[in-house]
């Protein structure tokens, strides 16, 4: 197996490998002002950093926890501190509100944001119930605002973005199946907020970290709808937290005949040098792609490794620096231009719907 460099990719064989350049800022300073709130999950930092790199300006911050606000201002000292959420929502220059609230509170916050005439960008999972999703669909239709979701496992991974490009270019033919593995490290229990262990608040493991997996299935296969084959959740090893689900798995069949299996868990061992060995395996009629997103165990390679086999070769591609994380610039332009380039609203909602349906099936089977 050889290492296919980025220069090799750019030179290779016409349309089979076409790299899009890493994105540059898509607007001028101050042209796209955002606000940050809901600091219940650290993802809010990655969300804001990616938007700022793409050209956004963080104008406001609000959270009930002033220590979290102070920490955020260390990164963005020029940001204004709001006294309440309404102060953010009443500013006509704020175009988008980014938030990582407690999961079961994300939908209510999104409805407030959209009712104020602003687009909403929430951490995953965007909902914990199908009723919340139905309310958000109606609100999007009523207001014309966006309810976008930070499905970061794909959107912040260059190898994952590159895989989508290669699939779109026909590199592995028609996609038949996707397998997703999403292990996570639980870490010290006292470092987790109380809501993390309360099912009503986090929604369940398939609803929560399983949402990443469902989004990737839709993206790589092109499916628009799917049926649930099976779903399962368990608490195998943490009886002291009876509402925690430390293991989950599920299977879907896409409306285009594709299939999907995924597993998510909280069993990353301490010996691994990162929080989880997240992988995605994609089977096509003309080849396969495997993504080792965060680590390539047993080697000195860092994350962002893409392994490709087709009828000509088997290669490893170090995707770091290849295509960037273009979603965030595209999202800014979508908000400014009222387009759907970064992600369609239906795609964002369908990924959420599928993880909720999988969670409901797993809950039903567990209590049956």
SS3 string, 292-333, reads ECCECCCCCCECCEEEEEECCCEEEEECCCCCCCCHHHHHHH
Alpha-carbon dihedral 102, 108, 109, 112, rounded to 10 degrees: -170
Q: Are residues 172 and 293 in the same domain?
A: yes
Residue with tokens 């220059």: 93
Q: Tens digits of per-residue pLDDT, 139-169?
A: 999 999 999 999 999 999 999 999 999 999 9
Mean pLDDT of the chain: 94
H-type helices in the chain, by residue range?
A: 6-11, 43-53, 66-75, 85-89, 106-115, 130-143, 152-155, 158-168, 199-202, 210-221, 327-337, 345-367
Q: What is the pTM of this model?
A: 0.94
Q: What is the pLDDT of residues 280-312, one digit of tens each?
A: 999 999 999 999 999 999 999 999 999 999 999
Q: 163 and 100 in one domain?
A: no
Q: Is residue 22 part of a domain?
A: no
Beta bridge partners of 334: none
Are 168 and 316 in a shared domain? yes
What is the percent of the chain where pLDDT is above 70? Answer: 94
300 lies in some domain: yes
Range of the domain at 296: 157-327+356-367
Domain boundary among 150, 180, 215: 150
| For residues 182-195, average pLDDT | 92
Where does residue 95 rank: exposed (0-12), middle (13-18), buried (19+ CB within 10 A)?
Answer: buried
3-state DSSP assignment of residue 121? strand
Which of 90, 125, 150 is the C-terminal boundary of a domain?
150
DSSP string, 345-365: HHHHHHHHHHHHHHHHHHHHH
Angle, helices 210-221 vs 345-367, to 10°: value is 130
Among 111, 129, 150, residue at a domain's last position = 150
User: Which tokens is 39 given?
Assistant: 């600091």
Considering the domain architecture, whether residues 227 and 303 belong to the same structural domain is answered as: yes
Structural domain count of the chain = 2
What is the per-residue pLDDT across 7-23, written as a single tens digit (0 to 9) for each?
666 555 444 556 667 78
């Amino acid at each position: 197996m050889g290492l296919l460099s980025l220069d090799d990719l750019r030179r290779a064989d016409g349309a089979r490998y076409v790299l899009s350049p890493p994105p540059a800022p898509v607007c001028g300073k101050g042209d796209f002002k955002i606000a940050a709130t809901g600091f219940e999950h650290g993802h809010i930092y990655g969300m804001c950093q990616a938007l700022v790199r793409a050209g956004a300006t963080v104008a406001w911050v609000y959270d009930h926890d002033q220590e979290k606000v102070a920490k955020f201002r260390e990164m963005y000292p020029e940001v204004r501190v709001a006294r309440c959420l309404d102060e953010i929502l009443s500013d006509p220059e704020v175009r988008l509100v980014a938030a990582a609230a407690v999961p079961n509170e994300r939908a209510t916050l999104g409805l407030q944001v959209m009712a104020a005439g602003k687009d909403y960008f929430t951490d995953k999972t965007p909902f914990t119930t199908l009723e919340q999703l139905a309310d958000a669909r109606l609100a999007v239709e009523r207001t014309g605002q966006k309810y976008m979701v930070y499905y970061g496992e794909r959107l912040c991974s260059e190898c994952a973005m590159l895989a989508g490009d290669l699939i779109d270019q026909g590199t592995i033919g028609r996609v038949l199946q996707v397998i997703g593995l999403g292990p996570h490290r639980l870490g010290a229990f006292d470092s987790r907020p109380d809501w993390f262990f309360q099912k009503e608040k986090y929604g369940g493991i398939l609803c929560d970290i399983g949402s990443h997996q469902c989004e990737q299935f839709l993206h790589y296969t092109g499916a628009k709808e799917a049926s649930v084959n099976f779903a399962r959740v368990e608490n195998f090893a943490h009886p002291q937290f009876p509402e925690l689900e430390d293991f989950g798995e599920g299977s879907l069949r896409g409306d285009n005949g594709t299939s999907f299996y995924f597993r998510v868990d909280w069993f990353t061992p301490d010996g691994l040098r990162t929080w989880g060995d997240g992988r995605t395996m994609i089977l096509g009629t003309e080849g396969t792609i495997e993504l080792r997103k965060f680590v390539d165990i047993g080697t000195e390679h860092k994350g962002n490794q893409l392994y490709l086999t087709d009828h000509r070769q088997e290669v490893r591609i170090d995707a770091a620096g290849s295509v960037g994380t273009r979603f965030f610039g595209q999202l800014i332009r979508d908000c400014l231009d009222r387009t759907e380039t970064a992600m369609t609203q239906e795609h964002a909602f369908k990924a959420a719907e599928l993880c909720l349906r999988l969670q409901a099936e797993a809950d039903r089977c567990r209590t049956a």
